[in-house]
Amino acid sequence: MFNRTLVSLAAAAALFAPAAGAQDKAGVEGQHALCIGCHGIPGYKTAFPNVYHVPKIAGQQPAYIISALKAYKAGTRSHPSMRGIAASLTEDEMKKLADYYGEPAK
């Protein structure tokens, strides 16, 4: 049951991932899989550490995404999952993820 739920969540998340477009996806493929599991499902809520709504990150300002990731990495924003994920990212990976999910340049 648990494995089926994970597969279902992953499949649903893939449907709502940002469009590939002309954005450079080099180096993002493995990293963004960590994001879409929660942030790619419209209206998704998680129960860890408390029940809360998971915000949509696709279309956010890239600078905001980078700032949030740096704050999680530094511990000034606290969420156990996000802190662990951000701690594993380099600044270059944060920028690539922000560019991938961020609002397209106009």
Q: Which of 16-20, 49-53, 54-58 has the highest mean pLDDT?
A: 54-58
Q: pLDDT confidence of 54, banded at 50, 70, 90?
A: confident
- Nearest to 42, CA basis, from 68, 4, 72, 9: 9
- Nearest to 94, CA basis, from 51, 54, 62: 62
| Rg of the Cα atoms in the chain | 14
Chain centroid to CA 62: 12
User: Mean of the per-residue pLDDT values for the chain?
Assistant: 76
Pick the CATH number of 2-101 from 3.40.640.10, 1.20.210.10, 3.30.420.40, 1.10.760.10: 1.10.760.10
Give the per-residue pLDDT at 8. Answer: 40
